[in-house]
Amino acid sequence: MKLFLSLCLFLSACMTPALAASAETDALLQQLTQTKLSKMPAMVQQLEATGDESLLPVFRAWLAGDLHYIRDDNTLVVEVDVNGVDTFQDPYTQATIAGLTSKQVRKIKVNNKLRGLLRGVIARIQLTSRDAGVRESAVRALLADIDDETFATLERIYPTEPNSDVRSTMQTALSIYTAQDQNSSQSARLAAIDVLGDSLENDVRNVLLSLERSDNPVLSSAATQALVSINRQVERYALVDQLFFGLSLGSVLLLASIGLAITFGVMGVINMAHGEMIMLGAYTTYVVQLLMPNYIDYSIWVAIPAAFLVSGLMGVVIERLVICRLHGRPLETLLATFGISLILQQLVRTIFSPLNRQVSTPSWMSGSWEINPVLSLTLNRLYILAFALLVFFALVMILKKSSLGLNVRAVSQNRSMAKAMGVKTEWVDAMTFGLGSGIAGIAGVALSQLTNVGPNLGQAYIIDSFMVVVFGGVGNLLGTLVAAFTLGIANKFLEPTTGAVLAAIFVLVFIILFIQKRPKGLFPQKGRAAE
């Protein structure tokens, strides 16, 4: 839809230089206002024959039933709804004509036959547009019903079309016509049906379905074959679609649990307030957008470091105030951090209200990437998938290469030895916890693009994140990665057969059983140190 709107904008921008139609077309248009409905199709053809591209907005308005003329001077105007008030504009310049009321104008009538004609005309005009995208969608609009004229036009411009995508769509359109054309030879029609078997367009399927019911047995069986091949492809793409959603859920799980993999996996501290760190990140995004309402597109780049800082600092504060005093008492840590999560939730509820807050998506993240008519991937999920992987590998690099990483690993493997070697274990603990919490904050920025931002945001992810970390094997970042994507994909593949809730339950029960069998997860740490 957004694509279409921007297309219209683009087109009108293209057309305005022409401003007014030539004298010949002007005369025709004047005539139009006096023509009977039954004579109008001929008028449309005459108008198209002028080859005047500037008529496009007129045709559009006509198609939409918005084309009117002023009774006094037969000038064409377009009715536009501005804030609930009907106003009238010049069709070419879109300048509002002041003082015109609906009583002074009369509508130029349109019926279904005309609409079909108009659609074809509009598409044919667009076929010669300079923009390949416009040409592509124009051809696609023609697929539904191709008349002889369109066919002739398409056949004429097909050999000169430079863009291969547009050419293949054109070929589909041509094949649709040929396949249905009674006058073509049987072999030509069979060849056309064969071509259609590779297309995923909805219209193609309708054509093939009607051909399947035709009297000609040869054509009918060819159509059936083509349909089978189409269905096979559709199924394959449906699988890809499911996989994508699984990966997307996996990336969300990965983002949510990766911080936990550090605090729980590496430090052995169980942080029930982890979900609230995510929530704080999401609210930071909201606040950043409030502060820079005119730069929503760039707000994400501000929000990511801001969320990292907010959640990270909160993590350091929690570590210094509470967790460091409960060292070696995991169950108490669990309870205390749960208390902190309650306080943070209530704090957010008090400051921002208990209602969900709207975080807007930057324009470059909205929309979707249409690979073909049956498969389109939403851009925000795609970006978040990439972002999750980026964060993951950045974290792995930090732990592997930086001195903080070295210290963290030293402390996690042998605390007292690390202390004896001069590592400031308290500082390392605070930094590690800050890092884990900060990453949770970043996860919050990403989540704010997918779900509602509310005080309970973190609650929804805490159990899932723990499951991911435990499933992957505590203390193993790679395990977390594998576990997150496995669970995400498993969930999405179960969903169609069981429904979302049962799928979630199955996954939970599966993990419960899995932990019984392999208490140390998919990739356990081995050896005596793990005892």
Partner 1 sequence: MSKLINWFTEGRSSGQYTLPFVILLLGVTVLASAANLLLPQDSALYVSTYSITLLGKYLCYAMLALAVDIIWGYCGILSLGHGAFFALGGYAMGMYLMRQIGDRGVYGHPELPDFMVFLDWQELPWFWLGMDQFWFAMVVAVVVPGLLAFVFGWLAFRSRVTGVYLSIMTQALTYALLLAFFRNEMGFGGNNGLTDFKEILGFDLQADSTRVSLFIATAVILSLVLLASQRILSSRLGKVTLAVRDAEPRTRFIGYRTERYKVWLFVYSAVIAGVAGALYVPQVGIINPGEFSPINSIEIVIWVAVGGRGTLIGAIIGALLVNYAKTRFTAIMPDGWLFALGALFVLVTLFLPKGLMGLYGQLQSKRRQSAEQEVQS
Partner 2 sequence: MSALENSLQGLRETFRRDQVWPFLIDKQSKVDVSNQMILYVEGLNLSFDGFKALNDLNLYVNDGELRCLIGANGAGKTTLMDVITGKSKPDAGSVYFGQTHNLLTKDEADIAQLGIGRKFQKPTVFEEQTVFDNLELSLKTDKRVIQTLFARLSPSEIDRIDEVLAIIGLKKHRFMKAGALSHGQKQWLEIGMLLAADPRLLLIDEPVAGMTAQETERTAELLTSLAGERTVIVVEHDMEFVRSIARTVTVLHQGSVLAEGTMDQIQNNKDVIEVYLGEEAAEA
Q: Give the one entry of partner 1, partner 2, none that residue 526 binds, where binding means its C-beta sits below a cut-off of 5 to 8 angstroms depending on kind.
A: partner 2
Sheet holding 67-70, edge to edge: 85-89, 76-82, 67-70, 105-107
Span of 158-166, 200-208, 427-435, 497-505 interacting with partner 1 by CB under 8 A: 497-505
Q: Which of 10, 151, 158, 338 forms a contact with partner 1 (CB under 8 A)? A: 338
Q: Which of 157, 191, 313, 334 forms a contact with partner 1 (CB under 8 A)? A: 334
Spatial contact of 220 and 183, defined as CB atoms under 8 Å apart: no
Position of tokens 């179960």? 494
Q: How far apart are CA 207 and CA 213, in angstroms?
A: 10
Position of tokens 């416009």? 134
Spatial contact of 311 and 279, defined as CB atoms under 8 Å apart: no
Q: 65 or 354, CB closer to partner 1?
A: 354
519 binds partner 1 (CB under 8 A): yes
> What 3-state DSSP class applies to 375?
strand
Give the C-alpha distances (Å, rounded to integers) separating 351 from 264, 279, 282, 308: 29, 13, 14, 20
Spatial contact of 89 and 77, defined as CB atoms under 8 Å apart: yes
CB of 529 to partner 2, least distance (A): 9
Q: CB within 8 A of 149, min separation 6: which ones? A: 120, 124
Q: 83 or 416, CB closer to partner 2?
A: 416
Position of tokens 């609230």? 276
Q: CB within 8 A of 95, min separation 6: which ones? A: 89
Q: 36 or 528, CB closer to partner 2?
A: 528
Q: Which of 379, 404, 508, 522 forms a contact with partner 1 (CB under 8 A)? A: 508
Q: Give the one entry of partner 1, partner 2, none that residue 270 binds, where binding means its C-beta sits below a cut-off of 5 to 8 angstroms depending on kind.
A: partner 1
Dihedral of CA 193/194/195/201: which sign? positive
CB of 319 to partner 1, least distance (A): 13
Stretch 130-159: interaction string toward partner 1, x if CB under 8 A: ------------------------------
CB of 168 to partner 2, least distance (A): 55
CB of 335 to partner 2, least distance (A): 20
Q: Give the one entry of partner 2, partner 1, none that residue 95 binds, where binding means its C-beta sits below a cut-off of 5 to 8 angstroms depending on kind.
A: none
99 binds partner 1 (CB under 8 A): no
Pairing of strands 105-107, 67-70: antiparallel
Count the neighbouring beta carbons within 10 Å of the beta carbon of residue 440. 36
Q: 5 or 529, CB closer to partner 2?
A: 529
CB of 284 to partner 1, least distance (A): 21
CB of 246 to partner 1, least distance (A): 19
CB of 321 to partner 1, least distance (A): 9
Position of tokens 């191709």? 146
267 binds partner 1 (CB under 8 A): no
Give the C-alpha distances (Å, rounded to integers) separating 430 from 237, 318, 324, 417: 47, 9, 8, 18
Span of 127-135, 149-157, 290-298, 511-519 interacting with partner 1 by CB under 8 A: 511-519
335 binds partner 1 (CB under 8 A): yes
CB of 112 to partner 1, least distance (A): 41
Q: How far apart are CA 268 and CA 323, in angstroms?
A: 11
270 binds partner 1 (CB under 8 A): yes
Q: 65 or 330, CB closer to partner 1?
A: 330
User: In the chain, what is the straight-line distance between the N-terminal and C-terminal CA atoms, in Å?
Assistant: 58
504 binds partner 1 (CB under 8 A): yes
Q: How far apart are CA 232 and CA 226, in angstroms?
A: 10
Positions in the binding site for partner 2 (CB under 8 A): 526-528
Q: Which of 418, 424, 296, 286 is nearest to 365 (CA)?
A: 296
Q: Which amino acid is at 42?
A: A
Q: Give the one entry of partner 2, partner 1, none that residue 386 binds, where binding means its C-beta sits below a cut-off of 5 to 8 angstroms depending on kind.
A: none
The answer for 90, left when phi > 0, alpha when psi is -120 to 50, beta otherwise, is beta
Q: Partners of 77 in the beta sheet?
A: 68
**Lookup: tokens for 212:** 């399947």
In the region spanning residues 346 to 365, those forming contacts with partner 1, defined by CB under 8 A, are: 346-347, 349-350
325 binds partner 1 (CB under 8 A): yes
341 binds partner 1 (CB under 8 A): yes
CB of 250 to partner 1, least distance (A): 19
Span of 32-40, 228-236, 304-312, 501-509 interacting with partner 1 by CB under 8 A: 501-509
Spatial contact of 13 and 54, defined as CB atoms under 8 Å apart: no
CB of 168 to partner 1, least distance (A): 46
Q: Which of 18, 240, 326, 396 forms a contact with partner 1 (CB under 8 A)? A: 326
- Greatest Cα pair distance in the chain: 99
Q: How far apart are CA 103 and CA 347, in angstroms?
A: 59
Q: Which amino acid is at 131?
A: D
Residue 357 gets which letter from DSSP?
Answer: B
CB of 522 to partner 1, least distance (A): 14
Q: Give the one entry of partner 1, partner 2, none that residue 516 binds, where binding means its C-beta sits below a cut-off of 5 to 8 angstroms depending on kind.
A: partner 1
Q: Which of 76, 64, 65 is nearest to 105 (CA)?
A: 76
Stretch 453-472: interaction string toward partner 1, x if CB under 8 A: ----------x--xx--x--
Q: Which of 242, 332, 379, 452 forms a contact with partner 1 (CB under 8 A)? A: 332
CB of 527 to partner 2, least distance (A): 4
Footprint on this chain of partner 1 (rule: CB under 8 A): 270, 322, 325-326, 330-336, 338-343, 345-347, 349-350, 463, 466-467, 470, 501-502, 504-505, 508-509, 511-513, 515-517, 519
